[in-house]
Structure 1
Amino acid sequence: MGTLTLRPGGTLAAAKLSAAARGLFRRLRYAGAPIGLLFALALAGCDEKAQSRAVGPPPPSVTVAQPVKRTVTDWDEFTGRFEAIEEVQVRARVGGFVNSVEFKDGAIVHAGDLLYIIDPRPFEAVKLQAEGQLADARAKEELAKRELDRGLTLVQTSAVSEQVVDQRRQALQAAHAAETQAEGTLKAAQLNVEFTNVLAPITGRVSRHLVTPGNLVQGSESGATLLTSIVSLDPIYIYFDVDEATYQRNSKLWFEGRRPSSRDTANPVRVALTGETRPSHEGKMDFVDNRLDVSTATLRSRAIIPNKDLSVLPGQFGRVRIIGSSPYEALLVPDTAIATDQSRKIVFVVKDDNTVEARAVVLGPLDDSLRVIREGLKAEDHVIVDGLQRARVGAKVTPKMAQAPAGGKAPAVPADKALAGDKPAAGAKP
């Protein structure tokens, strides 16, 4: 409250008053107003200031929402590496000088496409020689056959002996063997001519050419020269290692009939690439190894992922998610509503009297943008989802319900479809 003093001469002085009160006080004093009126106005100004000081700020406003209740499925997450389903090192099958390279480095090639041309002239010459040898062998076989026929006719009249017939029969067999040998030589020569055209054995992306035209390459007989390599891209494998604890837990779920085995069921798989916060590729389980690695106590597993846009390359890393539980009802809240109190995870709940309470919770996995709450919350609780920095434990707040449910998208693979499969009979499988 302001203080009033009387100066000598009967004047009234005002101190610690508001600017408006002091201005009014001066105008009334210069106008010759009575001292009593001035005193009353001064007291009124002091009372107004005291009242405004006594009224505090309203409770802070926060946004609250009730936990989302829905059926979810836990997913285990592992680090994996992509590998090509098919990978071929293209090597020269015959030796010779390279005439030309018929592909563009890094391009997509199809099975049967021409990649290299090796000088075919030496092999064409060998082929012509083999063709001549085959013709000579066939002529000798034909002659031996005619002589044998004449011998068989003459032996009936004893014009020739049985020994001569046997000799001619043996000559025919030798001629037939020579013809077969000549045919084999010709086929080998024809293959060598074909091998001078190096073709792509599979469809995929080719690497760079390792040999330029004019260079001499070695064939398969003396260490074949590596020309390039090809990897298939669609679909593509991703390999990952499952730890022993997860393997045992999944085996237990399989025994109980709550999760199908990845050995005999193509369980769904989600993959997030490096730098991605959400899975961008979906696939299915394809292989589980028959033993754990003794050095790492992990089980090598493999999934097959469609790669229609050819964006994923062998050698890339990815975060693999596979089914880790049977479907169950759970409460979920936005992950941003969870705070950390030393070693505890807490959420702030607004009680019926609008006071804030810190509630310790047990977290589950992240489902899209929501976090599963295993313990610590009820479906009717009002959780602060916006304005955490303005909330204080035990203090009052002004709650405002969120416009939309605090939810995200449903899982990309429905839990009932993801876990479709026959109930196991016996034996442990991951």
Structure 2
Amino acid sequence: MTKNSLTLLPLLLVLAACGQQAGGPGAHGGGAPAVSVAPATQREIQEFEEFTARLEAPDTVDVRARVAGTVEAVRFKEGQLVKKGEPLFTIDARVYRAEVARAEAQIAALKTQAELAKADLARSEKLVSVNAVSQQEIDQLRSALRSAEANQKGAEAALVQARLNVEYANVVAPVSGRTSRANVTPGNLVGVGDPVLTTLVSSDKVYAYFDASESAYLRYMRAAKPASVSVALGLSDEQGHPHTGKLDFIDNRLNPATASIRARAVFDNKAGQFTPGLYARLKIGGGGSYTGVVVPERAITTDQTRKIVLVVGANNIVQPRPVKPGALIDGMRVVDGVKAGEQVIVDGLLRAMPGAPVTPQVLKVDDKGMPIPAAPAAPAAPAASK
């Protein structure tokens, strides 16, 4: 071997090693790329729509004073649950009780006048037969009696009003619900209707108002009576829609500006978990059911203007299938264009080329057809040291 050959030998060994690394197991040219596949699943499809809503209380009442006066006491704790008829505020009622006493005295005086007028008329009517009094005097006495009786009735009405004012001085809850903050404190002078003393909202039920599109209205609201349409609700910090209620109101006309119609669902709130004003997500059923094929949403890709699904066919060759997507249910998309049982690529879409072979790894699916991720491969055992 020459001296030049000895010099080139180490360089050739290095190049050979690099060539082995370039063509090693990690190279794409070593075999078909691996992908994860799952079978398309046929299942019963129940159509539904999702909406956003705001929660409102069935009863929202601004509590106002019906008589003027000085607030003597606030008789509730702010944020307290109260029942209908429970006292909230007390207004100084001394002037109204004095008005009751004055009205009662006036009624007594007018009652006496009416009795006197009645007696005068009775005596005069006995003298008419002997021509001791004229017919004109009789008419005047009858008019005096009617006037006295009318004045007595007016005084009795004033007494009723005075007693109502005494009753109104004790401000009570008009509905059962939760109170807001007290806007006035003892010692403040309030007028009739101003200011708002507190706000009371009912809490045993809650309404969820939402706007439904024209197509949703035609598809669902006509399919069943509103009272039979179930509604599921989820709050912003909840997964899914764990609360169930009923649709109980649909407006009587469509809004032509937005092509939507206002609807309302009602939910039980005896546990106090809903607060008026909260944002909510609604899921409404009631449409027809049918049998359809579903695939995972992530298995659908786009080929220019088409939606396609990559199917592993005979000899593990990738076949692109144009599909028409339908409803999205629990992460599974209803599609038209794939048959139940066909192996659909769900992971490794970028490694799969239409018409090229792949190495499929079939994943198990749950009861909804969603693929269950494969367990990670166990790490290789370390080589034993010599």
> How much does 1:379 deviate?
0.8
Which residue identity does 2:255 align to in structure 1?
D
> How much does 1:123 deviate?
0.9
Instruction: Say yes or no: does 1:380 pair with 2:341.
Output: yes
After superposition, the Cα gap between the structure-2 partners of 1:245 and 1:406, relative to the gap in structure 1 and judged at 3 Å, is closer
SS at match of 1:211: coil
After superposition, the Cα gap between the structure-2 partners of 1:95 and 1:339, relative to the gap in structure 1 and judged at 3 Å, is same
> How much does 1:295 deviate?
3.1
> How much does 1:157 deviate?
4.5
Instruction: Say yes or no: does 1:242 pair with 2:212.
Output: yes
TM-score (norm 1): 0.71
Q: What CA distance in whole angstroms lies between the structure 2 residues aligned with 1:65 and 1:396?
A: 14
> How much does 1:6 deviate?
11
After superposition, the Cα gap between the structure-2 partners of 1:89 and 1:243, relative to the gap in structure 1 and judged at 3 Å, is same
CA contact (8 A) 2:53 2:280 kept: yes
Instruction: Say yes or no: does 1:196 pair with 2:169.
Output: yes
Query: Structure 1 stretches of 5 or more lacking a match?
Result: 8-12, 18-48, 409-430
Alignment of 1:255-270 (within 5 A): 259-260=223-224, 262=226, 266-270=228-232
After superposition, the Cα gap between the structure-2 partners of 1:286 and 1:214, relative to the gap in structure 1 and judged at 3 Å, is same
Q: What CA distance in whole angstroms lies between the structure 2 residues aligned with 1:237 and 1:128?
A: 47
Instruction: Say yes or no: does 1:282 pair with 2:244.
Output: yes
SS at match of 1:300: strand
2:255 matched to which residue of 1?
A: 293
SS at match of 2:252: strand
Which residue identity does 1:190 align to in structure 2?
R
Alignment of 1:218-233 (within 5 A): 218-220=191-193, 224-233=194-203
1:186 matched to which residue of 2?
A: 159
SS at match of 1:286: strand
Query: Structure 2 stretches of 5 or more lacking a match?
Result: 4-8, 14-19, 371-386
2:6 matched to which residue of 1?
A: none
Which residue identity does 1:243 align to in structure 2?
S
**Deviation readout 1:90-122 (Å, 9 max, x if unpaired):** 111110110111112222222111111111111
Instruction: Say yes or no: does 1:77 pair with 2:39.
Output: no
Q: What CA distance in whole angstroms lies between the structure 2 residues aligned with 1:303 and 1:380?
A: 39
After superposition, the Cα gap between the structure-2 partners of 1:227 and 1:131, relative to the gap in structure 1 and judged at 3 Å, is same
After superposition, the Cα gap between the structure-2 partners of 1:151 and 1:381, relative to the gap in structure 1 and judged at 3 Å, is same
**Deviation readout 1:318-363 (Å, 9 max, x if unpaired):** 3333347421111123335445566654444333434444444332
Counterpart of 1:326 (choices 288, 291, 295) is: 288
Q: What CA distance in whole angstroms lies between the structure 1 residues aligned with 2:32 and 2:329?
A: 33
TM-score (norm 2): 0.78
**Deviation readout 1:166-220 (Å, 9 max, x if unpaired):** 3332222122111101101111110110011111111222211111111100114
1:365 matched to which residue of 2?
A: 327
**Deviation readout 1:101-154 (Å, 9 max, x if unpaired):** 111222222211111111111111111111111111122222222232333334
**Deviation readout 1:283-320 (Å, 9 max, x if unpaired):** 33333333333433332233333333332222223333
Alignment of 1:142-181 (within 5 A): 142-181=115-154
SS at match of 2:175: coil
Which residue identity does 2:146 align to in structure 1?
Q
CA contact (8 A) 2:35 2:349 kept: no
Which residue identity does 2:139 align to in structure 1?
D
Q: What CA distance in whole angstroms lies between the structure 2 residues aligned with 1:243 and 1:113?
A: 43
Q: What CA distance in whole angstroms lies between the structure 2 residues aligned with 1:103 and 1:335?
A: 54
Q: What CA distance in whole angstroms lies between the structure 2 residues aligned with 1:398 and 1:119?
A: 85
The sequence identity of aligned pairs, in percent, is 40
Q: What CA distance in whole angstroms lies between the structure 2 residues aligned with 1:151 and 1:194?
A: 45
CA contact (8 A) 1:109 1:205 kept: yes
Corresponding pairs, count:
356
Q: What CA distance in whole angstroms lies between the structure 2 residues aligned with 1:210 and 1:53?
A: 80
After superposition, the Cα gap between the structure-2 partners of 1:55 and 1:233, relative to the gap in structure 1 and judged at 3 Å, is closer
Instruction: Say yes or no: does 1:106 pair with 2:117.
Output: no
Which residue identity does 1:150 align to in structure 2?
R
1:87 matched to which residue of 2?
A: 60
CA contact (8 A) 1:354 1:399 kept: no
Which residue identity does 1:236 align to in structure 2?
V
CA contact (8 A) 1:356 1:397 kept: no
Q: What CA distance in whole angstroms lies between the structure 2 residues aligned with 1:348 and 1:277?
A: 31
**Deviation readout 1:358-397 (Å, 9 max, x if unpaired):** 4443322222343222x12101212345x54796343332
SS at match of 1:292: coil
> How much does 1:158 deviate?
4.3
Q: What CA distance in whole angstroms lies between the structure 2 residues aligned with 1:70 and 1:142?
A: 90
Q: Which has the larger radius of gyration?
A: 1
> How much does 1:16 deviate?
9.4
CA contact (8 A) 2:33 2:352 kept: no
Greater CA drift, 56-65 or 84-93: 56-65
SS at match of 1:290: coil
Q: What CA distance in whole angstroms lies between the structure 2 residues aligned with 1:213 and 1:343?
A: 71
Which residue identity does 1:260 align to in structure 2?
A
Which residue identity does 1:239 align to in structure 2?
Y
**Deviation readout 1:51-103 (Å, 9 max, x if unpaired):** x9799988777664433322222223333322222221111111011011111
Counterpart of 2:114 (choices 120, 141, 145) is: 141
After superposition, the Cα gap between the structure-2 partners of 1:118 and 1:153, relative to the gap in structure 1 and judged at 3 Å, is same
